[in-house]
Amino acid sequence: MTAADTFFTADIPAAPYDELRARTAGTVAVAGEPEYEALVTPWNLAIEVRPDAVVAATSAQDVLEAVRFARAHGLEVTPQATGHGAITAFIGEILVNTKGLDECVVHPDGWARVGAGVKWLRVVEAAAPYGLAPLSGSVTDVGIVGYITGGGLGPMARTYGLASDRVRAIEVVTGDGELRRATPTEHADLFFALRGGKGALGIVTAIEFDLVRQPRFYGGSLWFDGEQAPAVIAAWREWIKDLPEAATTSFGLFNLPEMPGVPPMLAGRLTLSVRYLWTGDAVDGERHFRTMRTAAPVLLDDVAEKPYTAVDSVHTDPVEPLPAHESAMVLRDFPAAAVDELLRLAGPGSGSPQVLVEVRQLGGATARPGEHDSAFAARDAAFSLLVVSIPMIPGAVEHGQRIVDAMRPWFGSRRLPNFTSDAALLPAAYDEWTRAKLRHTIRRYDPDGVIAIGHAFA
């Protein structure tokens, strides 16, 4: 039940959105108005986002006015920058579109400040002239705030850890209608909850974080025919046992369609991609990767020394909006029996309809606590599993769930917040102590339940 269910009935008129228009500089559009569709449509086209109204914020003050208006009228609010991680169950009556909060400042001494509407690509390009890089996501088209509030496991995670562990400060409009700046010493409980708590406390307007000195890397993707998957995965499992923390790696089983941007030798067939990013010297990176180059005949080899601005070549994730359904979990182990189950449903001869079935190696720096404690609670995970289905393909979503269910014997204890698209499962990303701390912090800063996603912890 939403706040609207509590405060309104069919006989009571809708909220007076003209009042909100008078209080904000940004556009306010209600369903049916020309601007509405463009402002509410998320990147993931499979997610239905249909609030009563949307506010295109141009400043933190617009966000503040939207939250105060929602609180005064018994409504819930939800932020959206790109909509990569939209969850239908957490769409309140008012959507606050934060794309207009586009501040981006990179400081040569190693840190950045960005607004809530900024994607990683802006920071990657702005930091590159100084030899710096952010702990960006697997694709730089992803919004920074949504990524960091879920922890942030990127292509350099085993070397540098979580993006949320590099945060210096977060500016946020909390559900009680106040703009606050959270740091390790100022509103420390908010600082804890916002880093990993997936936006349950408020709408972030700006965030400041440290960068790393990483002008170049050795890496990319190495592609094999899907028939070679058993041999390649077996080699990958042995190879990662002694892999230094300078390397972060994963593999993906792909069924890519014939379309622009997909190399012909990878389209219309099952393929396997081994992803690799080495943060140290390129000569050492190449030496460590030789094992995978000899695992089986190679279709395409894109692993080389590159500037950090080429980081998207590691995961080769799509940047254009598409409809997708994600099923995901963390694994405490990935033994041969787990490989057999995975290949039975997604390997050669399986007829798998999945666009992607991915296994990432975690550990390394991701397993160690950051300088300041946070709400991220899956540090003990050894691997992550991600299945990406296209809902329009008959049976694809159900098949994806069968893959996840088959891997259940090796599940870890916690989920990853950024890969949890089911509202009912989000609390499972946290241990009981963290859930209790999140609930306590939500009651303190959002006593009326204005922030929609906070209801997951009620």
Token look-up 């989000």 returns 426
- Rounded Cα gap, residues 109 and 211, in angstroms: 9
> Other C-beta atoms within 10 Å of 361: how many?
22
Question: Average pLDDT of the chain?
Answer: 91
User: Does residue 393 surpass a pLDDT of 60?
Assistant: yes
Average confidence (pLDDT) over 31-42: 84
Which residue segments constitute the domains of the chain, with CATH numbers given?
A: 3-97 (3.30.465.10), 104-213+430-447 (3.30.465.10), 216-422 (3.40.462.20)
The pLDDT assigned to 11 comes to 39
The pLDDT assigned to 38 comes to 85
pLDDT, tens only, 183-235:
999 999 999 999 999 888 999 999 999 999 999 999 999 999 999 999 999 99
User: Does residue 385 surpass a pLDDT of 70?
Assistant: yes
Q: Are 92 and 70 in contact (CB under 8 A)?
A: yes
> Other C-beta atoms within 10 Å of 167: how many?
24
Share of the chain above pLDDT 70, in %: 93
Q: Are 168 and 183 in contact (CB under 8 A)?
A: yes
With bands split at pLDDT 50, 70 and 90, how would you rate the model's confidence at 384?
very high
- Rounded Cα gap, residues 292 and 271, in angstroms: 15
pLDDT, tens only, 112-146:
999 999 999 999 999 999 999 999 999 999 999 99
Q: How far is CA 219 from the centre of its chain?
A: 21
The pLDDT assigned to 8 comes to 35
Phi then psi for residue 275, to 5 deg, are: -100, 145
The pLDDT assigned to 3 comes to 42
The pLDDT assigned to 426 comes to 86
The pLDDT assigned to 88 comes to 62
With bands split at pLDDT 50, 70 and 90, how would you rate the model's confidence at 423?
confident
With bands split at pLDDT 50, 70 and 90, how would you rate the model's confidence at 83?
low
The pLDDT assigned to 321 comes to 66
Give 83 or 76, the one with higher predicted confidence. Answer: 76
- Rounded Cα gap, residues 212 and 111, in angstroms: 8
The pLDDT assigned to 4 comes to 40
User: Does residue 436 surpass a pLDDT of 90?
Assistant: yes
* Nearest in space to 331 (alpha carbons), one of 233, 414, 243: 414
With bands split at pLDDT 50, 70 and 90, how would you rate the model's confidence at 240?
very high
User: Does residue 241 surpass a pLDDT of 90?
Assistant: yes
User: Does residue 269 surpass a pLDDT of 80?
Assistant: yes
- Rounded Cα gap, residues 279 and 156, in angstroms: 7
With bands split at pLDDT 50, 70 and 90, how would you rate the model's confidence at 422?
confident
The region of weakest confidence among 167-171, 176-180, 199-203, 229-233 is 199-203
The pLDDT assigned to 85 comes to 60
Average confidence (pLDDT) over 70-75: 96
Strand 104-107 to strand 111-115: parallel, antiparallel, or no bridges (unpaired)?
Answer: antiparallel
Average confidence (pLDDT) over 316-339: 87
User: Does residue 86 surpass a pLDDT of 70?
Assistant: no
User: Does residue 181 surpass a pLDDT of 60?
Assistant: yes
Give 155 or 91, the one with higher predicted confidence. Answer: 155
Give the pTM: 0.92
User: Does residue 5 surpass a pLDDT of 60?
Assistant: no
The pLDDT assigned to 297 comes to 97
With bands split at pLDDT 50, 70 and 90, how would you rate the model's confidence at 425?
confident
Question: Quick one: tokens of 197?
Answer: 């708590």
The region of weakest confidence among 85-89, 306-310, 426-430 is 85-89
The pLDDT assigned to 67 comes to 97
The pLDDT assigned to 149 comes to 94
With bands split at pLDDT 50, 70 and 90, how would you rate the model's confidence at 338?
very high
